[in-house]
Amino acid sequence: MSTQTLSRARWVRGCILRLLLCLSAALVCALLAGLTGYILLRGLPHVTWQLLFTQSSVLRGTRGILPNLLNTLYVVLAALALVLPLGVGAAIYLTEYAASPRLVRAVEFAAETLAGIPSIIYGLAGMLLFCQLLGLGTSLLAGSLTLAVMTLPIVIRTTQESLKSVPQSYREGALGLGSGKWHMIRTVVLPPAMDGIVTGCILSAGRVVGESAALLFTAGMGMSLNRFFASWENFAHSSGATLTVALYVYAKERADFDTAFAIAALLMLFTLALNFTAKWAGRRLRRRKGERNE
């Protein structure tokens, strides 16, 4: 009798917990679906050719985000170009060269610390270091440099993981045949680790596209069209708002919510696209690893 009531209590408790588990997972999914749906529904109708391919004009009363689109593209490309050699180099150093474990620990700790620093602090540090100390002023270059530092830990981590997955026997084989260390890395270690580096790139690009707080004081809020690659002066000295910063400016300072939602919808689409690409690259990486282990 007593065991029966006990087991019923247990059964009820089990059911309640199970229900809670399902509810919380459903809540997370509903949040994502609601957010995505709402943003796309409100934003996509306002994504027009005019918005995408012109710049805002007060005279004609039109809105355009072409400058911001281009700024985002420049910042992504510049940040990646800066962070790739640095991050991949640091990862190679950690897995191939570093002799003292203490040094490895120091570099890994530094990378973890960089990953934990909030973006607003990057914004301030970037402003102090790049804008003021190096005299770059509020410019896209300063913004790109700041974001390169911010994405450094991502590239280091993903590259390091894929370098570690290259079998030791490859290296021994190459060295045994008389290859130098750099020659071995270039020909034997890096090619199979390429997928990891690509994943790191995509993750960093996603982080850069979504970043705003670090750019507010480094790349600034310039909204006009610049021909950045026309001259070094343009690139190094003109401020420019990326899509995220433009969203903030339109929503908070100009109360133009239609444009803000249009930008938000574009950002969501970019996020989705980058996410899927990263997943695809990750799957390829895992498949390769599976082949190698067989």
Shortest CB 218 distance to another protein, Å: 11
- HEC string of 28-96 equals HHHHHHHHHHHHHHHHHHHCCHHHHHCEEECCCCEEEEHHHHHHHHHHHHHHHHHHHHHHHHHHHHHHH
Backbone angles phi, psi at 64, to 5 degrees: -150, 145
277 in contact with another protein (CB under 8 A): no
Distance CA 189, CA 172 (A): 11
CB atoms closer than 10 angstroms to residue 15: 10
Choose between 53 and 109: whose C-beta lies nearer to another protein.
Answer: 109
| Phi, psi values for residue 214, rounded to 5° | -75, -15
Nearer to another protein, 181 or 234 (CB): 181
Q: Which of 85, 135, 167, 191 binds another protein (CB under 8 A)?
A: 85
Binding mask 104-143 vs another protein (x if CB under 8 A, - otherwise)?
Answer: --xx-xxxxxx-xxxxxxxxxx--xx--------------
Binding pattern to another protein, positions 225-244, x when CB under 8 A? -------------------x
Whole-angstrom distance, CA of residue 53 vs CA of residue 226: 14
Would you give the binding string for another protein spanning residues 17-56, x where CB under 8 A is met?
A: xx-xxxxxx-xxx-xxx-xx-xx-----------------
- Smallest separation (angstroms) from another protein to the CB of 39: 7
Task: Kindly state whether residue 261 participates in binding another protein, applying the rule CB under 8 A.
Answer: yes
* The one segment of 49-57, 65-73, 79-87, 162-170 that binds another protein by CB under 8 A: 79-87
Hey, which bits of the chain come out as E strands?
55-57, 62-65
98 belongs to the binding site for another protein (CB under 8 A): yes
Q: Scan residues 179-208 and list those touching another protein (CB under 8 A).
A: 180-183, 185, 206
Shortest reach from residue 81's CB to another protein, in Å: 15
The sign of the dihedral angle between the CA atoms of 21, 27, 33, 36 is: negative
CA neighbours within 13 Å on the CB side: how many for 215? 32
Amino acid at 80: L
Among 70, 76, 78, 260, binds another protein (CB under 8 A): 260
Stretch that binds another protein, among 60-68, 72-80, 152-160, 192-200 (CB under 8 A): 152-160
The reply to whether 62 sits near another protein by the rule CB under 8 A is no
- In this complex, which beta carbon is closest to another protein, that of residue 41 or of residue 60? 41
In this structure, what is the dihedral angle of CA atoms 36, 41, 43, 44, given to the nearest 10 degrees?
110
The one segment of 50-58, 71-79, 98-106, 167-175 that binds another protein by CB under 8 A: 98-106
Residue showing tokens 């282990």: 293
What's the one-letter identity of residue 57? S
Q: Does 66 bind another protein (CB under 8 A)?
A: no
Distance CA 90, CA 99 (A): 14
| Nearer to another protein (CB atom), residue 73 or residue 234 | 73
Closest approach, Cβ 231 to another protein, in A, equals 28
